Amino acid sequence: MSDSPRLALGLALAGLFVAEVSAQGVRRPIGGRGSFGDGGGGIVVSPSDPKAPAPPRTVTYLSLTPEREWKSAAGQKITARLIAFDEGDAERHVPPTVVRDEQVRLLKGKKVFVYPLAKLDPAHRAEVRSIQSQLAASYEGRKKAPKE
């Protein structure tokens, strides 16, 4: 007996569904009645509670601007909010990340777009840099302020 039939026989005896492919390419089940899930050695997996709803997923964004119109360097317009990549760390005086890898995040409705800063209109690019520096200065001021 070659290794393949022994392996198939061993798996069939262990209660696992095994199929053999004949020379014509037709699959023949080995052991049991041959159909998956009818007690012929197949394994049937079903969810523990099919009626249980998935828990809601909550996503929170740190909005840095109200919803407004942003313009690309090519003149295209999008109405969206500028949002931070992260919330920063107030305890360690780390401001939220406004620009990461020379990209910004814009929230339009419920969809987030990561947009290259270089493709924004120069005026809007300067505004993003201004927001970034104002946040950094604000957190730097908190660092220097005496704790009460």
Residue ranges per structural domain of the chain: 1-44, 68-144
Q: What is the pLDDT of residue 102?
A: 94
CA 111, 134, 129, 59: dihedral to nearest 10 degrees? -10
105, 85 in Cβ contact below 8 A?
Answer: yes
Query: Could you read off the pLDDT of 119-136 as tens digits, one per residue?
Result: 999 999 999 999 999 988
Please indicate whether residue 55 or residue 124 has the higher confidence score (pLDDT). 124
CA 64, 68, 74, 76: dihedral to nearest 10 degrees? 140
- Three-class SS state of 97: coil
CA–CA separation, 48 and 54 (whole Å): 13
Q: What is the pLDDT of residue 89?
A: 84
Query: Could you read off the pLDDT of 63-113 as tens digits, one per residue?
Result: 899 999 999 989 999 999 999 998 888 788 888 889 999 999 999 998 999
The pTM (predicted TM-score) of the whole model is 0.58
Q: What is the pLDDT of residue 16?
A: 44
CB-facing half-sphere around the CA of 11: CA atoms within 13 A: 15
CATH topology of domain 68-144: SH3 type barrels. (2.30.30)
Give the residues across from 72 on adjacent strands: 120
